[in-house]
Structure 1
Amino acid sequence: MPPRRLLVLVLLGFASGLPLFLTGSTLKAWMTDEGLSLGTIGLFSFVTLPYSLKVFWAPFLDRYALPGLGRRRGWMFSMQALMAGALILLALSQPKLGLARVAALALALTITSATFDIAVDAWRAEALDQKHLGLGNSIHITAYRVAMLVSGGLAMILAQVMGWRSTYLLMAACTGLGMVGTWLAVNTDSVAKAPRSMKVAISGPLEDLLKRSGIVYLFAFTIFFKLGDWLAEAMTMPFLMRGMGFTKLQIGTVQKTTAMVAIILGGLIGGWMLMRMSLRKALWICGFVQASSILGFWSISLLGRHLALLVAANSLENLAYGMGSTALVALLMGSCNRSYTGTQYALFSALTALPRTLFAGMTGFMADWYGWKLYFPVCAAAAIPGLLLLLLYDRWGLAEPEASAETGEIRPT
């Protein structure tokens, strides 16, 4: 893979992952500092709804281009600029005094971030040939998770030292790295042409998916594979800060050091597994590792506040994320038709994010009802449906991709 393409994948992956914690666990940590209730903090998970709804405007991005940089790059660049603006305004807000303003700005940030994801995912599927797709996805996911650690672990340390306002302003400045990646990215307009009409852009992707045998199983797996992870992640920060008394500096230091190594290692292991074994076997292994990683936080609730336990639990969680996401993205991106990449992958990723939005919004109340010692086992149990669906893998209608002799297009069979 050319060094420039590698650099672009890193920068765009970083840009894609940066906003997620800034509207998720980091924002919840800020709200925890402000003394807001667990129920209110949990309800803020609903601001991530655009990640699940983005499929409704993805056809618009497939069909139309903004002037100047091409169909994919134009949308990427403009959304990054809007993301930076939303972060600046969020930095100038106070959750306790202006909760509605914070909610509106967080929602604006997730809308622009979700739209950016549509464009960058489609660009990646079009810019990478089948030979480099697995490696490219692994690099993207690793950079994505590193960005989450920057906006999570590093942001926690910075908030302890310089306050939340300066931290969010610095995160806004970090979006400039992603804009450099967009500028360096190749234009893929010649690789996949835009649908000839808006009607085709909307109906074509759905018709293509619905005519496939076993698509219902694939949709269900997409929803449930990371359900346990999303439920656990939604309340991890309040649990560590309010439930166990860890400081922002302790949490941030762990996430910036051992967790960083774990996520990179997880991405590399996931990529290695995809080269060495079947996708089905990789999904099985990664699914079990994901479910097991949730129990690391359960052990903290049982054994008490010990820094070594925090290091172990956080490292295992990040290792599992890198492995599981690499395998899942390989499955979903390989299931897309290149003619409708933006919309089809937006649909898959929206289904993946759906539990994080619909179910995670109630996690604050769940934590109050169950207590921390029962909450995380419940989250681990929520991973079981995804694993059970793997027993029906033969009915999904999946096979290795093959190249069309006429167009060279890679398509699922």
Structure 2
Amino acid sequence: MRDDFSIHNRNGYERETGPNRFNLISELNLIASIRSWQESLRAFLTPQVVTMLFLGIAAGLPLLLIFSSLSLWLREAGVDRSAVTYFSWAALGYSFKFVWAPLLDILPLPILHRLLGRRRSWLFLSQLMIITSIILMAMVDPATHSLTLMAIAAVLLGFSAATQDVVIDAYRIESADTRLQALMSASYIAGYRIGMLLAGAGALMLASYFGSEVGEYDYRAWRQSYLIMASLMLIGVVTTLLSPEPEVNKKIHDDRKRDYLGLMLTFSLSISGFIGCFYLTGDWAVQARLQMLSWVNNGPLAAIGVELVRLVLATIVAVIIAKVLILMGWVQKNIVHRSYVEPVQDFFKRYGLSMALLLLSLIGLYRISDIVLGVIANIFYQDMGFTKPEIATVVKTFGLFMTIVGGFLGGILALRFGVMRILFLGAVLSALTNLLFMLLAQMGNDIWMLYIVISADNLSGGMASAAFIAFLSSLTNISFTAVQYAIFSSLMTLLPKILGGYSGTMVESMGYEQFFLLTALMGIPVLLLVFLAARRFRIDG
């Protein structure tokens, strides 16, 4: 690492890595004290790490109820493949959570804030919203009811789950110092994967047990499965109620209640404008796609181009509404500046323009191979002839075990060898394992090949995720924890999820083998970005 680069830790303080290093002796001694394998393993039993395991379960439950489990439900109900993958956009709330993350930092919830504290009050509310959303999804039969109703419930679930993620991320970063972040990340990933197991393999096994299969669709089976999933969210609720509020030295804002209400109303109206713009441009988008298709002769490219235009237009409408309301005095400018502008300014000030742009590019592309492939993965398994019990056993259950192993291995390796090295290794392995899906597509219904693919994919994914979460955590200033981490994690999924929504269309136009090759090639720019970032950036601890 270069000695002339000033490193900023997550608290926003700067320290020199050049010749003047004597003031770091105590810090280096602390780091050295946990470098042994025995101490590394023992650190997993600390209360903060254990708490993240259970909160990870609560965070992992909602995701697959929007993605893979919902996709199989919709396919059994007779919904087209392309329409099924569009439902992945219901999870775009994860990619835009930075918009309302500032509200979670400054808005106190009536009554709950006094009883539970800032972080736990928002965590409790978001978990109740998740339970409500899952129940609403269970009440909709996609075979007979309007898909719009299911989409609304799925969007609400995505919004609620993204809110929970924002609070959990802030809670994790504020609960322990930098040296424990990699281990807490690994524990969180383990819990997250357990939650995904419950919502993935659990939901599939329950739906099959209750009598729904391909060609023999039974809505009641899926309804019962989703209601059981809603009840499992009580794991998160109990953890929230029993966990302590983080002790953080942070300035307490004392703005008037009118300012809080004004900010919330401004946010609500802006989001309404965003959604309304998307809805009103739906018919135009269909015509625009057809027109662009005649120009570029590429269906997926035409669709992506049109949707990006809609995204920009909706964003402009939301910004205009917010500016008008600010000019009308509904919310004070200083509150907006503190909530949205200062966290961004702080990041660019600490790292400088070129370094900040490099880090943001890495964040935005690091998970692109995994996420784009993951949207259609369950449909692929089903098209290869694997049954729901086989998918639940191999992909969800065995895959969970391999991901947990990869997550803990990644956390320990990151602690011993550095986060950036494991970040690079994870990126290499994630791209290479996508090529194994090409072999599976050629071999078809081969259960042993499925085991090999899932082993390699989930092991590498767990390692990469543990290092990546620790990397994101190190970039935050604790004065803007929720906002900055929400921006990072939102950017991480925005482009991949937009592209993932078209994965069904891509597969229909190019086939599975070429699609998997394309997702592997997407990982090449990531390797270059990690290499460049590693030369100029080092994580404390």
Into which bin does the TM-score normalised by the smaller protein fall?
over 0.9
Aligned partner of residue 385 in structure 2, secondary structure: coil
Secondary structure of 2:78's counterpart equals coil
* Structure 1 residue 203 corresponds to structure 2 residue 362: no
Shift of 1:294: 1.5
Structure 1 position 195, deviation (Å): 5.3
Structure 2 equivalent of residue 176 of structure 1: 234
After the TM superposition, which of the residue ranges 69-78 and 133-142 deviates more from structure 2? 133-142
The residue number in structure 2 matching 1:226 is 367
1:10 maps to what in 2?
Answer: 53
CA contact (8 A) 2:182 2:467 kept: no
Q: Which amino acid aligns with 1:219?
A: L
- Tell me how far apart the structure 1 counterparts of residues 411 and 347 of structure 2 sit (CA, whole Å): 26
Task: Give 2:202's match in structure 1, choosing from 150, 154, 164.
Answer: 154
SS at match of 2:233: helix
Distance 1:185 1:194 in 2: 21
In the alignment, which residue of structure 1 is the partner of 2:151? 103
- Percentage of pairs with the same residue: 32
**Aligned residues of 2:48 and 2:184 also touching (Cα < 8 A):** no
Q: 1:7 to 1:184 in 2, by over 3 A?
A: farther
Alpha-carbon offset, residue 374 of structure 1? 1.2
Q: What is the TM-score when the length of structure 1 is the normalising length?
A: 0.93
Task: List runs of 5+ in structure 2 lacking aligned partners.
Answer: 1-42, 211-220, 256-334
8 A contact 1:17–1:143 mirrored in 2: yes
- Which whole-Å deviations, capped at 9, do the CAs of 1:100-149 have from their partners, x for residues lacking one? 00000000000011011111110110011223222111101111122112
8 A Cα contact 1:126 1:191, kept in partner: no
**1:372 and 2:420 equivalent?**
no
User: Under a length normalisation based on structure 2, what TM-score does the superposition of the two structures give?
Assistant: 0.71
Match of 1:249 among 383, 386, 389: 389
Alpha-carbon distance in 2 for matches of 1:252, 1:200: 46
Residue from 82, 89, 97 that aligns with 2:129: 82
Residue identity matched to 2:117: G
1:377 positional shift = 0.9
Supply the AA of the counterpart residue of 2:204. M
- 1:282-293 equivalences under 5 Å are 282-293=422-433
Select the residue among 190, 200, 203 that pairs with 1:142.
190
Match of 1:19 in 2: 62
For residues 8-407 of structure 1, what are the structure 2 equivalents within 5 Å? 8-66=51-109, 67=113, 68-97=115-144, 98-162=146-210, 163-188=221-246, 190-194=248-252, 198=335, 199-211=337-349, 212-213=351-352, 214-241=355-382, 243-393=383-533, 397-401=536-540
Contact 2:420 2:538 in 1 (8 A): no
2:189–2:404: 8 Å Cα contact kept in structure 1? Answer: no
Work out which of the two has the higher radius of gyration on C-alpha atoms and give 1 or 2: 2
Work out the CA distance in 2 between the residues paired with 1:356 and 1:84.
Answer: 27
Amino acid at match of 1:120: I
Which ranges of structure 1 fall in alignment gaps of 5 or more residues? 403-413
Larger displacement relative to structure 2 (3-12 or 170-179): 3-12
Cα distance in 2 for partners of 1:296, 1:135 equals 29
Structure 1, residues 67-117: CA drift from partner, whole Å, max 9, x if none?
Answer: 221110000001101100110111111123220000000000000110111
> Counterpart amino acid of 2:347?
L
1:191 is displaced (CA, Å) by: 3.8
Distance in 1 between residues matched to 2:234 and 2:357, nearest whole Å:
40
* 1-structure distance, mates of 2:75, 2:384: 13
Aligned-CA RMSD value: 1.7
Q: Letter of the 1:207 partner, please give it.
A: Q
Deviations 1:233-271 (A, max 9, x none): 011111111x21111111001134321220111011101
Equivalent pair of 2:403/2:461 in contact (CA under 8 Å): yes
- Report the Cα distance in structure 1 between the residues aligned to 2:64 and 2:51, rounded to whole angstroms: 22
Kindly state the Cα deviation for residue 189 of structure 1 after the two structures are TM-superposed. Answer: 5.5
How far is the alpha carbon of 1:304 from its aligned partner? 1.5
Instruction: Give me the whole-angstrom Cα distance separating, in 1, the residues matched to 2:448 and 2:133.
Output: 37
Q: Say if 2:166 and 2:482, in contact at 8 Å, map to a contact too.
A: yes
Distance 2:73 2:366 in 1: 29
CA distance in structure 2 between the aligned counterparts of 1:111 and 1:326, rounded to whole angstroms? 24
Structure 2 residue identity aligned to 1:400: I
Deviation of the 1:299 alpha carbon: 1.3
Would the aligned equivalents of 2:420 and 2:534 in 1 still touch at CA under 8 Å?
no
Matched residue, 2:10 = none
Give the distance between the partners of 2:181 and 2:248, measured in 1 at CA: 18
8 Å CA contact 1:137, 1:330 repeated in 2: yes
Cα distance in 2 between the residues matched to 1:176 and 1:327: 29
Moved over 6 A (4+): none
Q: Residues of 2 paired with 1:316 and 1:152: CA distance? A: 19
- Contact 1:88–1:169 under 8 Å retained in 2: yes
Residue aligning to 1:408: none
Answer whether contact 1:126 1:192 (CA < 8 A) is retained. Answer: no
Q: 1:160 to 1:135 in 2, by over 3 A?
A: same
Structure 1 residue identity aligned to 2:106: R
Deviation of 1:357 (Å): 2.3
> What amino acid does structure 1 have at the position aligned with 2:206?
L
Q: Is the 8 A contact 1:149 1:256 kept in 2?
A: yes
Partner of 2:7: none
Give the number of equivalent residue pairs. 400
Contact kept? 2:186, 2:410, Cα under 8 Å: yes
Distance in 1 between residues matched to 2:191 and 2:253, nearest whole Å: 31
